[in-house]
Chains A and B, each alone.
Chain A
Amino acid sequence: GQNIDQPTEMTATEGAIVQINCTYQTSGFNGLFWYQQHAGEAPTFLSYNVLDGLEEKGRFSSFLSRSKGYSYLLLKELQMKDSASYLCAVMDSNYQLIWGAGTKLIIKP
């Protein structure tokens, strides 16, 4: 079956760095997405990886290893507003999105 795993909850300190991991097993692969979702709001697109390696975008970076079925989202210089759920989603060979359950990130002062 198809499966996306990511931690349920993580806690980090303001100004620090946090890495949210995502592992996947899917039928085919057409890219991996990271979204940020604040409570009560629609998910916001953060990144898209289809090739191996690191994509950096400001304070956020996303890494992909297709051979390992693994990705991570790296958040630097954490701010209180980064408290949110982070969703990992993989697009399979049929261009269907397989969603992880999301990681709730709690930022403490």
Chain B
Amino acid sequence: GAVVSQHPSRVICKSGTSVKIECRSLDFQATTMFWYRQFPKQSLMLMATSNEGSKATYEQGVEKDKFLINHASLTLSTLTVTSAHPEDSSFYICSARALRSGSQETQYFGPGTRLLVL
């Protein structure tokens, strides 16, 4: 089945540094990728939607200058947390939507990246 990978799986960084998280669709082309943030035992909070070759669409309350998203190709999207602070510590999950024949779209989720900002 379709697989979405994220790298790194976990990262610890100092406050004020920037962290880049990669999301790749391994065996399919993803025209749309989503970035979520998850707090413990809570729903996934959609941060932004990115379409290949165009600017990401951010949800209300998400700072686009802080969470930079680049969807450079049909298999890769990156999320960069700039000037990270301890409150940015969270579990970040990406998902990729595959366009199947018959216009049936399926969304596949990545394993998540655990970010800890000290």
Whether A43 lies near B108 (C-beta < 8 A) is no
Query: Using Cβ atoms and an 8 Å threshold, which residues of chain B touch A95?
Result: 10, 112, 114
Given contact pairs A48-B41, A89-B109, A99-B109, A42 touches B114 in the complex (Cβ within 8 A): no
Classify the interface of chain A: helix, strand, loop or mixed. Answer: strand
B73 proximal to A (CB < 8 A): no
Q: Provide the bound-state CA to CA distance between A68 and B46, in Å.
A: 33
What are the interface flags for B25-48 relative to A under an 8 Å C-beta threshold, 1 for contact and 0 otherwise? Answer: 000000000101000011111100
Number of chain A residues close to chain B: CB under 8 A = 16
Distance (whole angstroms) from the CB of A25 to the closest CB of chain B: 14
Whether B112 lies near A43 (C-beta < 8 A) is no
Interface centre among B43, B45, B46, B93 (most CB of A within 10 A): B43
Q: Which residues of A contact B (CB under 8 A)?
A: 35, 37, 42-45, 48, 87, 89, 94-99, 101
Contact for A98 among B106, B111, B114, CB less than 8 A: B111
Whether A96 lies near B111 (C-beta < 8 A) is yes
Residue of B nearest to A33 (CB): B41
Whether B111 lies near A35 (C-beta < 8 A) is no
> Which 5 residue pairs across A and B have the least CB separation, nearest first?
A96-B111, A42-B46, A45-B43, A99-B109, A44-B43
Query: Using Cβ atoms and an 8 Å threshold, which residues of chain A touch B34?
Result: 42
Given A97-B110, A101-B108, 13 other A-B residues pairs in contact with their CB atoms under 8 A: A35-B43, A35-B44, A37-B107, A42-B34, A42-B46, A43-B43, A45-B41, A94-B9, A94-B10, A95-B10, A95-B114, A96-B9, A101-B1
